[in-house]
Structure 1
C-alpha cells in the first residue's frame, strides 16, 4: 500500500463489465441510430403514401373520394384505368416515351463525348470551353421562351417532336457534361494508356474502356434526364399545339379539363404516368446513387 501525503492512495474503480466480459454499449450511438432510422421511415412514408393514395383513388368513385378520401375503396373499379387509357393517356404516354428516350440518348452521348474531350484530350482553349459549359448552366429556360419560339419556327421544327428533343438536349448537356467530367477526373488513365499501347484508337478506347468504366455516372445522367424530360411542362405547353403530339404533363392537364372533374379517371392517368419513372429508378437505383455520389463529390 502506497502513501501520498499521509493518506491512502485510491485507485480509480474499474468499469463494470457485462457477463460476457465486454463493456456495455453506449446510449448515444444507439439513440442516434434510432433517430436516423425513424427519420428515414418518416421520409419513406411521406413519399410512398401519396403515390399509394393516388393509385387507390383511381379505384373509387367521385362520391367515395369526397366522402371518405382516406379510406380504402369499398368496391374497386378497375375499369377506371381502362377508361383513362382510352381517354388519351396511351397517346400521351407514347409521345413522352419517344421524346424522353431520344433526349436521354442524345444527352448522354453528347455529354460523354464532351467530358472525355475535356478530361483526356489536349485541346486548345479547354478552360474557356469549360467556363462556357458552366455558364450555360445558368441560363433559365423560361427566359428564352420567346426567342426559342422564333428560332424553332425558323428551323421548321415548331410543333414537332424535334422541338422538344432539341430543347431538352440543349438545356441539359451542360450540367450532364460537368457531372460526367467530374467522374472521369477520378478514374485512372493507366487503363486507357494500356489500350493505346495495344493499338486501340481514340474511338475504340472511348467505347471499350471509358464507357464501361463510366457506367454508373452514365446511368445517373440517363435517370436525371429521363426525370426532367418526362415531367417537363413549360416547353411542352408552349412549343406543342397539336393534340396528337402532346406529352403526359400537358395531356393530363387537358384531360382534366375535358373530363369535368372526373377525379378517378384523372388519378388513374396520373398513376399510369408515374409508374414508368418509378420502375426506371428502381432498376437503375444502385448505379444512380453510386454515380451521382462520385460525380458530385469531386
Structure 2
C-alpha cells in the first residue's frame, strides 16, 4: 500500500512539473522571441524569424525611442501613477466607511458601489464621449485620469473592503479611547494593517492602466496625450513597417510592469489570497 502511494505521488509530481514546464514555455517563449527580434533587421526577421540575430545592437531600440516611444512612455507613467493614487485612496476610504463605520444603509451603498462591476466600459463609450466633449475634457490627460479612476473604484473597493472586514474591531475601539479621529484611525492604523491588499490593488491597477487600449484610443488623438498601447500602433505604416523597431518598442513598454510584478509578487499573492479568501 505504501509503495502504491509513493508511486502515485511520483506520477503526480511528474505531471505537475511537466505542466508547469509547458506553461513556462508558453509564457516565456513569446517574450523571448519578441526581445530577440528587436535586435534583427527586417530581412533577418522575415528570412528566419526563429534564428538568433546575426549582429547584436541597440539601433532598433534607439529608433523606437526617438520615434515617439519616449513621449508615450512619459504619458503612460503620468496617467498610471496619478490614476493609481486616486483610485487606491478613494477606494480605501470608501472601503473603510463600508466595513468599519456604522452608517445608515451601508449594505445598500455597498451594493450600489459593487454594482459598478457589472457596467461594461463599451456600453458607456458614446455618452462618455459626448459628455467629455461638452466639458472640454476630450483628448486631454484628465479624460484618461477620470475614466481609469472611475471604472476601477468598484473592483478596488471590493477587494479592500473584503480585507478590512476581518480586521479586529478592538483596534478601532482602542483608537477611539485614545481620542483619535476617524481620519487618524484610518490613516495611521487601518491603512498600514491593509498593506498586503493595498500593494495588490496597486499592482492590479498599474497593469490595467498601463495596458488599457480602448479608452486611450477613443478619448485621445494627439501624440502628446497618447499612451503606449495606442502610440505603438503609430510605429506601423501602411507602406512598410519596420517590425524590429515595433518589437523593440513593445519590449520597452513591457519592461517596467514585468520588473514591478517580479519585485512585488510576494505581497501581490498574499494580499489577494487574504482579501478574496475572506
TM normalised by structure 1 equals 0.89
User: 1: CA distance between counterparts of 2:52 and 2:73?
Assistant: 28
Partner of residue 93 from structure 1, selected from 59, 73, 94: 73
By how many angstroms is 1:165 displaced? Answer: 0.5
Whether 1:140 aligns to 2:140 is no
Greater radius of gyration (CA): 1
What is the aligned partner in structure 2 of residue 20 from structure 1?
none
User: 2: CA distance between counterparts of 1:180 and 1:34?
Assistant: 38
Give the alignment of 1:1-298 within 5 angstroms: 26-257=6-237, 260-298=240-278
Structure 1: runs of 5+ lacking an equivalent: 1-14, 17-22
User: 1: CA distance between counterparts of 2:43 and 2:173?
Assistant: 68
By how many angstroms is 1:189 displaced? Answer: 2.1
- Secondary structure of the 2:236 match is helix
Number of matched residues?
A: 278
Equivalent pair of 2:139/2:222 in contact (CA under 8 Å):
yes
Structure 2: runs of 5+ lacking an equivalent: none
By how many angstroms is 1:67 displaced? Answer: 1.5
Equivalent pair of 2:235/2:241 in contact (CA under 8 Å):
no
By how many angstroms is 1:31 displaced? Answer: 1.8
By how many angstroms is 1:70 displaced? Answer: 1.1
By how many angstroms is 1:34 displaced? Answer: 2.2
Measured against aligned partners, the alpha-carbon deviations of 1:61-86 in whole angstroms (never above 9, x if no partner) come to: 11111121111111113211111100
**More helix by percentage:** 2
User: 2: CA distance between counterparts of 1:149 and 1:219?
Assistant: 32
**Aligned Cα RMSD in Å?**
1.7
TM normalised by structure 2 equals 0.96
By how many angstroms is 1:151 displaced? Answer: 1.2
User: 1: CA distance between counterparts of 2:95 and 2:271?
Assistant: 15
User: 1: CA distance between counterparts of 2:252 and 2:96?
Assistant: 38
- Secondary structure of the 2:97 match is helix
By how many angstroms is 1:257 displaced? Answer: 2.4
Measured against aligned partners, the alpha-carbon deviations of 1:129-157 in whole angstroms (never above 9, x if no partner) come to: 11111211111101111100111122221
